[in-house]
Every structure is written in C-alpha cells, then in structure tokens.
Amino acid sequence: MAFHVPEEYYYSKDHEWAQVDENIVTVGITEFAQEQLGEIVYVELPEEGQKVTQNQSFGVVESVKAASDLYAPVSGTVIEVNTSLTDDPSVLNDDTMNQGWMIRIEMDSEKELANLMRAPDYKKLIAEK
C-alpha cells in the first residue's frame, strides 16, 4: 500500500505529521497510522489554550480495536482544535493528511523540529514495518 507522505511535512516516530508555517504547527496522524489503527471511531482532543509538550500525549484516537495516544510533535500552546473530528471521526479514515488535521500549536522553539523526520526518513521508517 502506498501512503501519501508530503515532502513539506515533518514526521514523528509515533506517526504524527507536522506542517510548519512560521511558528504555527498543524498536527495530524499519518495515513500509515490510520491504516495500522483501522477504522477510527472516536477522538479526544485538547482544549484551546492548553500547553502541550513534545513527545507527550495531547489526545487519544480509538479504533474499534483499541485506544492509542496522540503525541505532540513540538511543545507549545494549542491555538486551534479541529472540533469537527469529535463529531465525525470518519474524516480521519478518508483524509487524515488534510481535512483530518487535529490541532494547531504555537510552537515554543523551532529547535525542536530537529527531533522530527523529513519525508524520506519517514518513508524509510514505514517501509521497514
């Protein structure tokens, strides 16, 4: 199965993607993550204003099978939440890379981006799975 892995995004080892626009980072889970989880039926996201820390859980997605934590790719403050996902998590099964974005974070430090992968490395990671 070929996954869509946009070149311009950053990726975490926990299969979140991060799209960086100056100091604002939009976060979601990768197509690979969705495929591994199976059909997503439930999402729990943080509130606006909440602080998140790199590699710490900021929410939960659940498939029929199991619950999985979502990990923040960078530290910062949540400035926007895609609340439509809570009402209709099925968006995540259809378009996790765009419409399925979860939160926008105002990032504390650009330096943390160095801990993330770029597309070629992420493609390698999922190819090994």
Chain residues binding other proteins by CB under 8 A are 38-39, 41-42, 44, 60, 62-67, 86
Collapsed DSSP state (helix, strand, coil) of residue 23: coil
Q: Which lies closer to other proteins via its Cβ, residue 38 or residue 120?
A: 38
Q: Would you say 103 and 45 are in contact if contact means Cβ atoms under 8 Å apart? A: yes
Least distance CB 23 / other proteins (angstroms): 30
Q: Which lies closer to other proteins via its Cβ, residue 12 or residue 63?
A: 63
How far is residue 125's CA from residue 53's CA, in Å, rounded to a whole number? 23
Q: Which lies closer to other proteins via its Cβ, residue 9 or residue 58?
A: 58
* Residue 95 neighbours by CB under 8 Å, 6+ apart: none
Least distance CB 60 / other proteins (angstroms): 7
